[in-house]
A = this chain, B = another copy of it.
Amino acid sequence: MTESPTNILTAPISKTRLEFLYDGIFAIAMTILVLELKIPELAERRSSAELLQHFAHHAPAFGSWLLSIVMLGIFWFRHQQLYRCLHRITRSLLVVHLWLMATAAFFPFCAALVGRYPGNRIAVIAYLGGAWLHVAALTALWIVAQRQEALDPQLDPVEVKQITRRFLRRTIVLLAMAVGYFLLLPQF
């Protein structure tokens, strides 16, 4: 009797549905990045020069858009590599996914911030911090999956450890970049 409620409520989470939700959030985050690129108010509607000048003036916003869509693409690719190795989704893995999805959904804000104020230290830190939180979540995904024995048992243990080390290295490098940027650059 006490066993049965666990059947419905503690069954592993649907891997397909979590994948849908995750891919949906990435698709939207990658697309709404463009909403931060504003259409200018031109004094002379037909002036090519005025429109080009606007683009030149807002070049950092376009650069941030391009960088961010590429980064989200890379994040998605990395998740796709790791997710394939899971053979069940535990509640802890769901929590890690919520973290992954929240940082992906937050990324358009960081991208807009650094696109608007590329010379502002806090904006750059927010951007690097957002990216770092996502990479850290990917690393957590892999470590939690190992701890909870949620990985496909057919995977080579040596390879699994190599991937752990790679992701830990990336997490540390990105953190060092953010801290280094903060400490080394002169205060404005």
How distant is A138 from chain B, measured CB to nearest CB, in Å?
13
Asked if A63 is at the interface (CB within 8 A of a chain B CB), the reply is no
A24 contact set on B, CB distance < 8 A: 20, 23-24, 26-28
Of B30, B46, B77, B80, the residue contacting A101 (CB under 8 A) is B30
Question: Within the assembled complex, what's the spacing in Å between the Cα atoms of A9 and B160?
Answer: 10
The answer to whether A39 and B112 touch across the interface, beta carbons within 8 angstroms, is yes
Query: For the complex formed by this chain, how many copies does it contain in all?
Result: 4
Q: A24-B24, A25-B31 are in contact. Are A48 and B108 (CB under 8 A)?
A: no
Instruction: Give the nearest-CB partner of A161 in chain B.
Output: B5
The answer to whether B117 and A51 touch across the interface, beta carbons within 8 angstroms, is yes
A112 contact set on B, CB distance < 8 A: 39
A116 contact set on B, CB distance < 8 A: 39
The answer to whether A122 and B48 touch across the interface, beta carbons within 8 angstroms, is yes
Asked if A19 is at the interface (CB within 8 A of a chain B CB), the reply is yes
How distant is A177 from chain B, measured CB to nearest CB, in Å?
18
A39 contact set on B, CB distance < 8 A: 36, 109, 112-113, 116
The answer to whether B21 and A23 touch across the interface, beta carbons within 8 angstroms, is yes
The answer to whether B162 and A5 touch across the interface, beta carbons within 8 angstroms, is yes
A21 contact set on B, CB distance < 8 A: 23, 26-27, 76
The answer to whether B48 and A121 touch across the interface, beta carbons within 8 angstroms, is yes
Chain A 66-107, CB within 8 Å of chain B: the 1/0 string?
100110010011001100110000000010001001100110
How distant is A173 from chain B, measured CB to nearest CB, in Å?
18
Chain A 156-180, CB within 8 Å of chain B: the 1/0 string?
1011101100000000000000000
Of B30, B84, B106, the residue contacting A25 (CB under 8 A) is B30
12 A/B residue pairs, CB under 8 Å, sorted by A: A7-B155, A7-B156, A14-B84, A21-B27, A21-B76, A24-B27, A39-B112, A46-B117, A52-B122, A66-B102, A70-B98, A73-B98
